[in-house]
Amino acid sequence: MNSFYIWTIGCQMNTADSERLASALEQLGLNPAERAKDADVIVLNSCVVRQSAEDKVVGNLWAMAPLKKQDPDRVVALMGCMVGAKTDELARRFPNVDVFMRPQQYEPLLEIVGERLGLDWEGCVGNLVPNHPDVTCHVPIIHGCDLMCTFCIIPYRRGRQVSRPLEEIAEEVELLAARGVKEVTVLGQTVDAYGHDLPSDTDLADLLTRLDQVSGLDRIRFLTSHPAFMSQRIVQAVAELPKVCEHINLPVQAGDDEVLSRMRRTYTRAEYVEMVGRIRDTVPGVSVSTDIIVGFPGETEEQFQRTLDLLTDLRLDKVHCAPYSTRPGTTAHRNMEDDVPKQEKSGRRERVDRLQERILTEINAGLVGTTKEVLVEGRQKGKWQGRSRSNKLVFFEDDGYHLSELVDVRIDRSSPWSLQGTMVGSK
């Protein structure tokens, strides 16, 4: 047993989980493989937030069957939110899978690998910080969620909210910075609820303040926030801390109060609008992004129009829109009829996307002629690419080597999805 392959779908939390499992497997002496067929250990890290994601996982699970038949000693593992407390049904559906692991549950696979290698895995595996991180890296700071939005399966799969100790997170970020990471994104299903379950009087603002002191680190971001926990103290930290980027993701999900109530979102449309205004007043140049669900059970055309009106009025910097997908086990699945036709859901999503494209065309056009600080993350089609502090994707051409550098780019051209420019300096 020499190699492993990890396939990941879903949110940034899943990406972080995969990175940490990879670190553990490398500490046991395994090397990453580029293809599943070349690996002795295959891990599929799953997502079931939407049916489309679950379908992809199932397709890949069936694709693993011939590889398992070819080499019965190959270990196939299913990890992530597709795995609940009971795995009997999964084991029946997918007999080619050797081990099932819930989110952040690495031990079952590590035990198997340790036994195959004749190693005490607990004695071999230490800190799960990625061994070869990219310029940017995700750091989970809070697992699970105590909110029970009616559409969401996450609390049932990731459990109740549990915050990591502040200094433990700080030590991890310091190690990442020592390994070359220039930007970290601290993660949680409700990241701005960080610390509320800790015995000390600690919150996300305290953590951001501590991470702002990490030597070698240039930038800090956080995902995903919930309007219920977006305190003025957190907003003030974004405004005042030099390394914290002026970008806040604040999912609204819908623009109609009745729909929000059925979703159990705990805020009103007016409260959300007030919050966005307060953020913009406090943080100059801040970008605000959001998530929208269209076609929630019972959503009428009039209610959907209120969502469009909200987006028109707020002119947010990014909108991630998805049609409602019923998830077995959720309150919405148990108590609400999925009564908006699939075609209507798709149409509403297209209307949101068209509106947002028009808004972004105007917003980004207004950036032409300005200069933005860009953290260079890599190259694509012969151009360097990176993101501004406000999370705009920026491309520029230059003959020098700029990976992981902070550079100043003058914006020459814009599109709804990215900016093109000329490098005018470095830091």
Percent of the chain with pLDDT over 90: 86
Q: pTM of the entire structure? A: 0.89
Q: Rounded to an integer, what distance in angstroms lies between the CA atom of residue 239 and that of residue 346?
A: 38
Q: Which residue type is seen at 149?
A: C
pLDDT in tens, 63-118: 999 999 999 999 999 999 899 878 888 999 999 999 999 988 899 999 999 999 99
Cis, bond preceding 224 (omega within 30 deg of 0): yes
Spell out the domains of the chain, with CATH numbers in brackets.
3-124 (3.40.50.12160), 136-365 (3.80.30.20), 371-426 (2.40.50.140)
Mean pLDDT of 178-203: 94
Which residues touch 181 (CB under 8 Å, ≥6 apart)? 133, 134, 135, 136, 137, 173, 217
Tokens of 194: 């960080």
Q: Rounded to an integer, what distance in angstroms lies between the CA atom of residue 24 and that of residue 360?
A: 41
Q: Measure Cα distances from 73 to 68, 137, 194, 343 in Å.
A: 8, 33, 42, 45
The listed range with the strongest mean pLDDT (27-31, 34-38, 90-94, 411-415) is 411-415
Which residues touch 381 (CB under 8 Å, ≥6 apart)? none
Rounded to the nearest integer, the mean pLDDT of the chain is 94
* DSSP one-letter code for 164: P
φ, ψ for residue 388, nearest 5 deg: -75, 170
pLDDT in tens, 124-157: 887 788 888 999 999 999 999 999 999 998 888 8
Instruction: Kindly state the greatest CA–CA separation across the chain.
Output: 64
